[in-house]
Amino acid sequence: MNVARDNILRRVHAALSAEALRPVAPTSAPVFPPITDPEARFRAEFVALRGEIIENAATLRAFVNGFAKIATDGSELTNKIIGEPNAGVRECDLGVTGCDYLVAQTGSIIVSTLSAGGRALSVLPPTHLVIAQHEQMVGDLASATALLRKRYDKHWPSALSVITGPSRTADIEKILVMGAHGPKRLALYFAD
Amino acid sequence: MRVALFIPCFIDQLFPNVGIAMATVLRRLQVDVYYPPDQTCCGQPAFNTGYWDEARALARRYVEIFADADAVVSPSGSCTAMVRNFYPELLGKPTQATTHTYEFSEFLVKHLGVTDVGARFPQRVTYHDSCHALRELRLQDEPRQLLRHVQGLELVEMNQAETCCGFGGTFSVKFPMISYAMDEVKVSSIQNTGARYVVSTDSSCLMQIDGYLRRLNLPIKTISLAEVLAST
Amino acid sequence: MTTPTLLQFERDATVKAADLRHRAVIQKNIGTYNIAVANGRTRFADWQNARSHAAAIKWETINHLDRYLEQFEQNVLTNGGHVFWAETAADAREHVLQLARRHGVQKVVKSKSMTTEEIHLNEALEAAGIHSIETDLGEYICQIRGERPYHIVTPVMHLTKADIAQTFQEKLGAPLTDSAEELAMIARAKLRHEFMTADMGITGGNFAIADTGMIALTENEGNARLSFSLPRVHVAIIGIEKLIPRLEDLALLWPLLAASGTGQALTAYNSLIGGPRQEREADGPQEFHVILLDNGRTRLLADGEQRDALHCIRCGACLNACPVYSNIGGHAYGTTYQGPIGSVITPHLPDAQEWSHLPYASSLCGACTEVCPVRIDLHHHLLHNRRNAIQRRFDGPIQRFLFRAWFWAMQSPVRYAVAAKLGNIALRRGLAHLLLKPWTAKREFPTPPKQSFRDYWRQHERRA
């Protein structure tokens, strides 16, 4: 017996016996402008957020070589592209993960515990590298949420994050500073 | 069309020239105006303070007094908003008088289709949007259109024309320190335009702004839109 | 009615309203914000329609709240989480303490949450010997300064770099610096250690999704993510009004919150938490607890006229639009929830009389209503609250008498004319300085002309 639960639900139910005015009804016109070229849109958004796109395998090699301690999500794709990790998530200076989807509308990368090796690996390391494939690109958030539901509805992972650029804060005099707590750098490499 | 003049209590007592100017312009445009002398106050001070029973009684009075008018015109955005937007809530329904009450510039532009009233006012002028006119009556373009057609008038926009001057009725005396700060910010915006005059549809706003200007002896004057339009 | 709270408000407002440096800082910040938001809105094909959609989503949820609460709870439980229903702030605090005791918690990391402010959680934790650390940079700064957050979205809007550097030097022994980046890195390094050694992470929740049993968390820094990823217990405290029906609703609400809150397309991290770590997952807390908080919300829910105040998504736009707020700042309100939304909901709390002045501390300009992304009728609710205050006789006998007298005069043209004449004489004698002191202390009051409009008309129309 849960007294508090019953009390609250009872109060809610009783409260709703009074009618509230409906607000102005929305129209069926689209809320967001259509996205004609998702790849271009994603690139523009991601770069404007100070995300770094690693253009090819050579650049990737140079990028990774800049880090001594690398943690990965241990997935097949990451192993193939990057190789084995040599550090744990807490000590690494680079964390490498996959992702679920890329969202062109906002230049976002969607990760989950299942696509990115848990919760911490995509937020604790000072630099986060995402290995993605072009087929993971979707136009807008509406499509992304629909696809996530299709993929995970039977058994959702316990955590997901929509990552839109590196960590940032403007708390101090509205001056933008990167890397407040999460990664200061966010990089993306297309494996295909 | 018989147009009744609704002259708010504070304009009747403190700024009668505003009402006279409005009547003059309307007559110049061949509008048949009359003034029901029994009118007193729209009840907004009571309404805004929370005395809705009293406000309701005054609303009923207004509706009776102006029942026969084809249109009611007032040189006050805030009193017009009270009648058009809030009387229906008080009275439970709109009436002829409440739906046909208009602010002066609104009446000229939207109902008479006039933007040039043959006025002349060769001064540099900036326009302050009264909150009620702007947000309750949705008047932003209309007063500016009228000003742009005044001969010799140079209209400059201030930054933050839409920011409240700080009057707010009894707010100005209940929380005078906040009201004063808002007044100061508004005057600062006005000063930055280099204008000699600040104009508004609402004399209550102008009274607030003028109060600051006069106490500090600043070389800027306030003038109502009606008085500008009546100038020749 | 003059309460001690009103007197305090008047004192604080007087000080802040006259503080030109404070005014300059706040208004500069708001200026930056306004530019960002104007830009952010251009991402919408139709901003007004977006607001209507969001209002409809919240209307649907709030007006069927019992159903959605039950659905949410069911899904959280199915996914291995726990749900606690807290009728009061005290119940919520007590439950957190119980959980902390049960799990041997000595250190808590917290992400920004107005709800935890509302229930005064930190004080309770500290009193129980549990070290609770605010991890949002602005909140962290407030915590070590011993101040309450200044604004829903930007807690240290009122501080300069120099203020913060000073604080870090005094409290953390950090070297003085003029660089915002260096200041942020000082906090980052200190807090990183805390994240890794904390026993419990406490967050709020921006939304609670009924059909998946998830909490949604919106942030830019990553401290919420670290708070729900590293410690072994995660507690999320949310007001019951945070519910939304479906995951898909976030495709609108996330961008809307970002656009109105900061002018961004999306904040850096928008996360969804549905439960504790699963067997197939690499990490995460062992336990996930959601605390559903009432604390007066059902009272506001019962007010059909003002129920839409519960639609609030805590974006802070109304604060930034409010000219009162931009002149007196957040602390002067004395409440957890400040600005227009604060003045709307605070009078619905049990000590309504104490806060009955807040709805009056507004010129009713309506800028708040104009910017609210979920179309709450904010400034009209201030009027409703004023009416309620009078109905409950929170006005003093003097004010009541004055309004009765004024009303009596206004009901008859003859009485009006007599009263007006008396006023006219008094003011032409220069008595404004006595009668209208709150005005004339700093502003001139107009001297009425001899002849009123009605006198003029009577005189000239007779001739015409």
pLDDT tens profile C445-456: 999 999 999 999
Nearest residue of chain C to residue A144 (CA atoms): C251
User: Mind telling me how many Å the CA of B139 is from chain C's nearest CA?
Assistant: 14
Calpha distance B190→B159 (Å, rounded) = 8
pLDDT tens by residue, A141-161: 999 999 999 999 999 999 999
B204 closest CA partner among B179, B177, B168: B168
Calpha distance C228→C289 (Å, rounded) = 11
> Do residue C291 and residue C407 come from a single domain?
no
A-contacting chains (≥3 CB pairs under 8 Å): C
CB C96 within 8 A of CB C110: no
Instruction: Determine whether the interchain pair B175/C424 forms a contact, defined as Cβ–Cβ distance below 8 Å.
Output: no
Instruction: Determine whether the interchain pair C367/B38 forms a contact, defined as Cβ–Cβ distance below 8 Å.
Output: no
What was the pLDDT predicted at C26?
86
Q: Which amino acid is at C222?
A: G
The CATH number covering residue C109 comes to 3.40.50.10420
Among partner residues C423, C439, C455, which is closest to B176 by beta-carbon distance?
C439
In this prediction, what percent of chain C has a pLDDT beyond 70?
Answer: 99
Q: Which residues pair with C110 in a beta bridge?
A: C134, C202
> Which residues of chain A from 75 to 134 reach within 8 Å of chain C, CB to CB?
89-90, 105-108, 113-114, 117-121, 123-124
Among partner residues A8, A73, A168, which is closest to C220 by beta-carbon distance?
A168
Q: Which residues of B touch C413 (CB under 8 A)?
A: 37-40
Average pLDDT over residues A54-70: 97
pLDDT over threshold 80, residue C150: no
Interface test with C, best of B74, B90, B129, B180 (most C CBs within 10 A): B180
pLDDT tens by residue, C241-267: 999 999 999 999 999 999 999 999 999
What was the pLDDT predicted at C462?
65
User: Which region holds residue A83: left if phi is over 0, alpha if psi is between -120 and 50, else beta?
Assistant: left
Q: Which residues of C touch A26 (CB under 8 A)?
A: 49, 52-53, 55-56
What was the pLDDT predicted at C435?
85
Cβ contacts of C149-153, under 8 Å, gap ≥ 24: C149/C112, C149/C114, C149/C117, C149/C330, C150/C329, C150/C330, C150/C331, C151/C316, C151/C319, C151/C330, C151/C338, C152/C114, C152/C314, C152/C315, C152/C316, C152/C319, C152/C337, C152/C338, C152/C339, C153/C261, C153/C262, C153/C315, C153/C316
State which H helix or E strand residue A45 sits in.
Answer: helix A38-48
Among partner residues C328, C395, C443, which is closest to B178 by beta-carbon distance?
C328
Nearest residue of chain B to residue C18 (CA atoms): B181
Give Cα C272 distance to the centre of its chain. Answer: 23
Q: B25-29, C175-179, C431-435 — which is least confidently predicted?
A: C431-435
Q: Do chains B and A touch (3 or more CB pairs under 8 A)?
A: no
Confidence of residue C463 (pLDDT cuts 50, 70, 90): low
Per the listing, tokens 């119980």 go with C98
What was the pLDDT predicted at C250?
98
Planar angle of CA B178, B184, B185, nearest 5 degrees: 95
Chain A contact present for C149, CB below 8 A: no
B179 closest CA partner among B170, B189, B188: B170
Give Cα C261 distance to the centre of its chain. Answer: 12
Q: Which residues pair with B77 in a beta bridge?
A: none
Confidence of residue C28 (pLDDT cuts 50, 70, 90): confident
| The CATH number of the domain covering residues in B2-111 | 3.40.50
Per the listing, tokens 């503080």 go with C19
Interface test with A, best of C272, C299, C308 (most A CBs within 10 A): C272
| Whether complex ipTM tops 0.95 | yes
Q: Which residues of B touch C12 (CB under 8 A)?
A: none
Residue C28 lies in a domain: no
Among partner residues C362, C411, C449, which is closest to B171 by beta-carbon distance?
C362
Instruction: Determine whether the interchain pair C452/B13 forms a contact, defined as Cβ–Cβ distance below 8 Å.
Output: yes
Average pLDDT over residues A13-19: 95
pLDDT tens by residue, B181-215: 999 999 999 999 999 999 999 999 999 999 999 99
pLDDT tens by residue, C164-198: 999 999 999 999 999 999 999 999 999 999 999 99
User: Which region holds residue B96: left if phi is over 0, alpha if psi is between -120 and 50, else beta?
Assistant: alpha
Sheet holding C82-86, edge to edge: C82-86, C287-293, C233-239, C200-203, C107-110, C131-134
Instruction: Determine whether the interchain pair C367/B162 forms a contact, defined as Cβ–Cβ distance below 8 Å.
Output: yes
At A97, give phi and psi (nearest 5°).
-135, 170
- How many CB atoms are closer than 10 A to CB A17? 8
C-contacting chains (≥3 CB pairs under 8 Å): A, B
pLDDT over threshold 80, residue C153: no
Chain B contact present for C389, CB below 8 A: yes
Average pLDDT over residues C402-420: 94
Of C149 and C103, which is predicted with more confidence?
A: C103
Instruction: Determine whether the interchain pair B185/C323 forms a contact, defined as Cβ–Cβ distance below 8 Å.
Output: yes
> Do residue C271 and residue C419 come from a single domain?
no
Instruction: Determine whether the interchain pair B50/C388 forms a contact, defined as Cβ–Cβ distance below 8 Å.
Output: yes
pLDDT over threshold 80, residue B230: yes
B124-230 placed in CATH 3.40.50: yes
What was the pLDDT predicted at B1?
84
Note down the domain range covering C402: 397-463
> Which residues of chain B from 139 to 178 reach within 8 Å of chain C, CB to CB?
162-164, 166-178
Chain B contact present for C407, CB below 8 A: yes
pLDDT over threshold 90, residue C128: yes
Residue C315 lies in a domain: no
Give residues with Cβ within 8 angstroms of A29, minimum separation 6: C45, C46, C49
| Largest Cα span, chain C | 96
> Which residues of chain C from 10 to 29 reach within 8 Å of chain B, CB to CB?
10, 13-14, 17-18, 23, 27
pLDDT tens by residue, C217-232: 999 999 999 999 999 9
Chain B contact present for C321, CB below 8 A: no
Q: Which residues of B touch C453 (CB under 8 A)?
A: 7, 11-13, 16, 19-20
Instruction: Determine whether the interchain pair C10/B162 forms a contact, defined as Cβ–Cβ distance below 8 Å.
Output: no
Confidence of residue C1 (pLDDT cuts 50, 70, 90): confident
Size of interface A-C (CB pairs under 8 A): 277
> Which residues of chain C from 2 to 41 reach within 8 Å of chain A, CB to CB?
29, 32-33
> Which residues of chain A from 145 to 174 reach within 8 Å of chain C, CB to CB?
145-146, 148-149, 156-174
Calpha distance B79→C32 (Å, rounded) = 35
Confidence of residue A1 (pLDDT cuts 50, 70, 90): confident
- How many CB atoms are closer than 10 A to CB A135? 9
Chain C contact present for B7, CB below 8 A: yes
Chain A contact present for C90, CB below 8 A: no
Nearest residue of chain B to residue C385 (CA atoms): B50
pLDDT over threshold 70, residue B180: yes
Confidence of residue C152 (pLDDT cuts 50, 70, 90): low
Sign of the Cα torsion C72, C78, C81, C85 reads positive
Residue C70 lies in a domain: yes
Q: Which amino acid is at C373?
A: P
Q: Which residues pair with C108 in a beta bridge?
A: C132, C200
Instruction: Determine whether the interchain pair C52/A26 forms a contact, defined as Cβ–Cβ distance below 8 Å.
Output: yes
> Do residue C101 and residue C247 come from a single domain?
yes
Nearest residue of chain B to residue C449 (CA atoms): B14
Q: Which residues of C touch A165 (CB under 8 A)?
A: 268
> Do residue C286 and residue C409 come from a single domain?
no
Instruction: Determine whether the interchain pair B12/C452 forms a contact, defined as Cβ–Cβ distance below 8 Å.
Output: yes
Q: Which two tokens stand for residue B40?
A: 């007193």
Q: State chain B's mean pLDDT as an integer.
A: 97
Nearest residue of chain A to residue C154 (CA atoms): A171
pLDDT over threshold 60, residue C159: yes
Average pLDDT over residues B158-174: 96
Average pLDDT over residues C344-354: 86
Q: Which amino acid is at A73?
A: D
Among partner residues B162, B169, B173, which is closest to C438 by beta-carbon distance?
B173
Chain A contact present for C193, CB below 8 A: no
Confidence of residue C396 (pLDDT cuts 50, 70, 90): confident
What was the pLDDT predicted at C340?
96
CB C239 within 8 A of CB C286: no
Q: State chain A's mean pLDDT as an integer.
A: 96
What was the pLDDT predicted at B67?
94
Domain count, chain C: 2
pLDDT tens by residue, C370-380: 999 999 999 99
Q: Which residues of C touch B185 (CB under 8 A)?
A: 23, 27, 323, 327
In this prediction, what percent of chain B has a pLDDT beyond 70?
Answer: 100
Q: Among the three residues C252, C268, C295, which one is the final residue of a domain in this structure?
A: C295
Interface test with A, best of C37, C44, C247 (most A CBs within 10 A): C247
- Can you give the C-alpha Rg of chain C in angstroms? 26
> Do residue C51 and residue C195 come from a single domain?
yes
Per the listing, tokens 């008396």 go with C422
Hey, where are the domains in chain A? 35-190
Hey, where are the domains in chain B? 2-111, 124-230
B1 closest CA partner among B27, B33, B39: B33
Q: Which residues pair with C202 in a beta bridge?
A: C110, C235
* CATH class as words, domain A35-190: alpha beta
Average pLDDT over residues A113-117: 98
